[in-house]
Structure formats: C-alpha cells, structure tokens
C-alpha cells in the first residue's frame, strides 16, 4: 500500500537555499532604482559638446596688446566616473591648470571647480545664456572672481577672467584666452563629421562593437562606451528617435 507523508520536513540544503533566496529578494527590494543614463546633468552638459577636444590658446592681459601675452594648450574631455562632468586640462596656462564643469539639476546652475597654476582652488557658480557660460566665485579676500566662457563657433572659444571688489559693481578685466581648435585654422570651413554615440558631440575616435564601428568624442566617452556598449547604443537610438 502506497503512503504519502505530508509532514515530511525539507532537507537542510533546501532550507539553506530558501534562506539565501529570501535574503537576495530583500536586498534587491532595498536597492535604489538605477539612475537613468540620460540624466538631467548629462543633458545640460551636452550643450558644451563643442568644447571636447584639443585646443591652442593665446592669452592676453589686454586685448590687442602682446605685452605679457603667452600661449598654452588645453584639452576638454567627458568624465563619467562620478556622475557626469566635462574636465579641462591646461598646459602652460597662466590662470588655470585644471577645471571641472558640472551641473546641479536641483538648482539648475553650473559649477566650475578651478585649479590655479599655484595649486590653489576656486569654485564658481552660474548659468548659461545662449553660447555663454557666466559663473562667479564666492568672496575671497574681498574680491569676487568671474569666468565667462564664450563658444563663438566649432573652432573658436574665448575664456575671460575678471574680478571686482566686493563693494563694487564694475568688473576689472584680468586676462583673456582665445582658443582655436587643434588642427584647424580660422579661415577653414566649419568642421563636420560623425556623431559621438555617448553625448552627441563630434565623433573623433572609432570604437567597435559586434563587428560595427561607432564614434566617440573623447577618452571619457570611450571609457563609458567600453563599460556598457549595449546600454550606450540603446540610449543613442532612443535619442535619435526622439529627434525625429
């Protein structure tokens, strides 16, 4: 006669398996939702895609005067290692060594963390109007500093340094650097080329995935693509569909 025992206890291994599964489910339930890659920060910074790349800079203390003038080189790259930012590295600069441009979605303001040639730091905050980013620092030793970044076109960018006394309203010019994109001349036609699949900027570096070639605009975007090519291409396809 066949009997079925309904009071049979589970084995130890089965019991352990259930416990592990329950823990995994609880942990996953507590995990925050993944932040969308097409974040507000990244979208706001995409307005500066035209900066990405290498530049030749000519600095002047006074416009139209070569007294105290200098030359420098600069490179702008995307960085996604901690959120989204656009980073600047300057060689032989007189007023900047590095800078990090970020965007705060809550306050809707841009921030520039500047490292000066003497290794001191200064933070600026402000907004973008058309092709100009205007950011100001907090008061330092009675002075307020201002940076104005003007994107004239794909080949020409100006960076103006100014300051004023805290009690004054008028700004005093400190210096200005005029940047020309490396590999171009002012008399050349506008630059065109493939689109960066990460940010939508000008693609200059070829990357491959599943036998197909795509383009990114800088080393930071290449790292982002290599880390998640399928996610990057899915976001790119969604962005292009939205443009239609």
**Long-range pairs, 127-131, Cβ under 8 A, ≥24:** 128/47
**CA torsion angle for 43, 45, 51, 57 (degrees, to 10)?**
170
The model's confidence at residue 239, banded by pLDDT at 50, 70 and 90, is: confident
Give the pLDDT confidence score for residue 184 in this predicted structure.
75
Give the span between the Cα atoms of 241 and 244, in whole angstroms. 5
CATH topology of domain 41-181: Lipocalin (2.40.128)
pLDDT greater than 50 at residue 21: no
Q: What is the pLDDT of residues 182-219, one digit of tens each?
A: 987 654 545 568 999 999 999 999 999 999 999 999 99
pLDDT number for residue 5: 46
**Per-residue confidence band for 11, with pLDDT thresholds at 50, 70 and 90:** low
Domain coordinates in residue numbering, the chain: 41-181, 192-243
The mean of the pLDDT values for the chain is 85
Residue 164 pLDDT grade (very low, low, confident, very high; cuts 50, 70, 90): very high
| DSSP symbols for 144-177 | EEEEEEEE-SSSEEEEEEEEEETT--S-EEEEEE
Looking at residue 238, its pLDDT comes to 87
Give the mean pLDDT of 80-103: 97
> pLDDT value at position 25?
40
Query: Confidence band (pLDDT; 50, 70, 90) for 241?
Result: confident
Q: Nearest to residue 83, comparing CAs of 63, 105, 61?
A: 105
């Amino acid at each position: 006669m066949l009997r079925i025992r309904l009071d049979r206890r589970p084995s130890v291994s089965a019991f352990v398996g259930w416990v592990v599964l329950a823990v995994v489910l609880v942990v996953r339930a507590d995990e925050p939702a993944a932040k969308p890659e097409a974040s507000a920060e990244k979208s706001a910074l995409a307005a500066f895609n035209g900066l990405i790349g290498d530049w030749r800079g000519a600095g002047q203390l006074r416009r139209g005067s070569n007294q105290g003038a200098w030359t420098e080189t600069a490179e702008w790259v995307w960085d996604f290692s901690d959120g989204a930012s656009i980073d600047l590295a300057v060689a032989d600069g007189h007023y900047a060594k590095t800078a990090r441009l970020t965007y705060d979605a809550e306050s809707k303001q841009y921030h520039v963390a500047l490292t000066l040639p003497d290794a001191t730091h200064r933070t600026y905050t402000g907004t973008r109007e058309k092709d100009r980013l205007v950011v100001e620092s907090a008061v330092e030793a009675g002075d307020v500093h201002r940076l104005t970044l003007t994107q004239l076109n794909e080949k020409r960018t100006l960076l103006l340094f100014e300051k004023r006394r805290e009690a004054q309203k008028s700004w005093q010019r400190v210096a200005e650097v005029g940047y020309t994109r490396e590999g171009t001349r002012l008399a050349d036609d506008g630059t065109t080329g493939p689109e960066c699949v990460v940010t939508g900027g000008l693609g200059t570096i070829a990357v491959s995935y599943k036998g197909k070639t795509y383009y990114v605009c800088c080393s930071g975007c290449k790292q982002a693509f290599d880390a998640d090519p399928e996610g990057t291409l899915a976001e790119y396809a969604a962005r292009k569909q939205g443009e239609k």
